[in-house]
Amino acid sequence: MNSIVVYDLKNQKMKKIIKKGFALMMAIILFAAYPGDKALAQSPGSVSVSYQNFYDDLSPYGTWIDYPAYGHVWHPSITGDFRPYLTNGYWDYSNDGWLWMSNYSWGWAPFHYGRWVYDDLYGWLWIPGYEWSPAWVTWGMFDNFYAWAPLMPGVNVGIAFNLWRPAAFYWNICGRDHIYDRDIFNRVERRDLVLNNINRINIINNFSTTGRHNQYYSKGPDVKEVERFTNRTITPASIREVNNSAVAKHEGNEIQVYRPVVKNPQPREFRRVDNNNANPVRNNDDRVNTERNQQSQNIERLPIRRAPESSFGRSGGGTNRRH
């Protein structure tokens, strides 16, 4: 009898273990099958797009140009004044540093990937990049002002960065007490203040590295310092990656951003600039006088080129060769 009782107890324990294991397995299956809200929160680089998604998303909002030395660049079709990291947006603070919050539907790309260059004939041109950061700018300060300027191509802020100085035209300057304002466009100082103080701007050496290729970017002013000047408490927001290109939003203590991995650049349709007609602004004495309307007309006069369909393949993939 005793041996039978022992056997029954062991058998009951085994059944309980099997039942618990089965229940756990079913829970895991159901959790994996039901994404819920967690599907929106993703690790850096978990969303990827083909180069065709990348270029097609921007094509309705501007013109692709085959530009000497830089390859395919993009010019936004915006009437009136436009300056990257100033027009129609504002600075917010994240765990990764100062992040540019663009109100443009296409802002997820040109303000977080790649670099900008100004050509007096065509205006601001964006050179695509494939590494995400809160903003590709250099930060500086002097007296009671903060200053920032878009990075040009080929500049890595972590390697001999202090040897590179943007031309005066690239800098934006505002009082330190206004850097956190939502209407930053109306808070920047006159251009002559930049010209008169260009040699007094001290670069802010506050760098971090990107998640994928460890490229350096500037995190910007120390948040505690900004709090003192603005007399506001600034809580760093965590970045929550979403799977669509909607305008970035700051909700609660999270900033929702779209930051896909971008691969293999090659637009279907673009215009071409000849070598003799490129005038990128690199130095303070380079010309910056052409009106924006004239720049748009200059772009419209450029010849249109189309990449052959064979370069895209069945799924939209292709090569990175020039046409």
pLDDT in tens, 4-50: 333 343 444 444 444 444 444 433 333 333 333 333 333 444 566 65
State the pLDDT at residue 138: 93
In a domain, 189, yes or no: yes
Task: Determine phi and psi for 224, rounding to 5 degrees.
Answer: -65, -35
pLDDT digits (tens, 9 = 90+) for 67-119: 998 988 999 999 889 999 999 999 999 999 999 999 999 999 999 998 999 99
Q: How far is CA 43 from CA 212, 235, 254, 258, in A?
A: 11, 22, 14, 11
Both structure tokens of 52 = 């065709």
Q: Which residue, among 112, 45, 94, has the nearest Cα to 251 in the 3D structure?
A: 94
Characterise 234 by phi-psi region: left (phi > 0), alpha (psi -120 to 50), beta (else).
beta
In a domain, 264, yes or no: yes
pLDDT grade, residue 157 (50/70/90)?
A: low
In a domain, 130, yes or no: yes
The residue range of the domain holding 196 is 48-309
Instruction: Please report which residue ranges of 43-131 form alpha helices under DSSP H.
Output: 51-58
State the pLDDT at residue 44: 44
In a domain, 70, yes or no: yes
In a domain, 315, yes or no: no
Strand, helix or coil at 264? coil
pLDDT grade, residue 267 (50/70/90)?
A: low
What integer is the mean pLDDT of 135-160? 86
Contact 105, 194 (CB under 8 A): no
pLDDT digits (tens, 9 = 90+) for 188-237: 999 899 989 999 999 998 999 888 778 889 999 999 999 999 999 999 99
Q: Which residue, among 111, 127, 19, 156, has the nearest Cα to 68 in the 3D structure?
A: 127
Task: Identify the residue with better confidence: 171 or 38.
Answer: 171
pLDDT digits (tens, 9 = 90+) for 303-314: 888 865 544 443
**CA 213 to CA 130: how far, in whole Å?**
10
In a domain, 4, yes or no: no
pTM of the model: 0.76
Number of domains in the chain: 1
In a domain, 29, yes or no: no
Q: What is the mean pLDDT of the chain?
A: 79
Strand, helix or coil at 162? helix
The percent of residues above 70 in pLDDT, for the chain, comes to: 74
In a domain, 37, yes or no: no
Both structure tokens of 47 = 């969303």
Both structure tokens of 83 = 């300056």
**How does 157-182 read in b/e, with b if 16+ C-beta sit within 10 Å?**
beeebeeebbbbbbbbbbbbbbbbee
pLDDT grade, residue 159 (50/70/90)?
A: low
At CA 242, angle to CA 132 and CA 60, rounded to 5? 70
**CA 252 to CA 245: how far, in whole Å?**
20
Q: How far is CA 292 from CA 35, 81, 199, in A?
A: 47, 7, 28
Of 154-158, 171-175, 268-272, where does mean pLDDT reach its minimum? 154-158
Q: Which residue, among 163, 67, 151, has the nearest Cα to 110 in the 3D structure?
A: 151
- Residue 139's CB: how many other CB atoms inside 10 A? 24
Task: Identify the residue with better confidence: 268 or 174.
Answer: 174
Please identify which residue in the block is written with the tokens 């203040």.
193
E-assigned strand segments in 222-321:
238-241, 249-251, 254-257, 261-262, 269-272, 304-306
pLDDT grade, residue 164 (50/70/90)?
A: confident
State the pLDDT at residue 308: 59
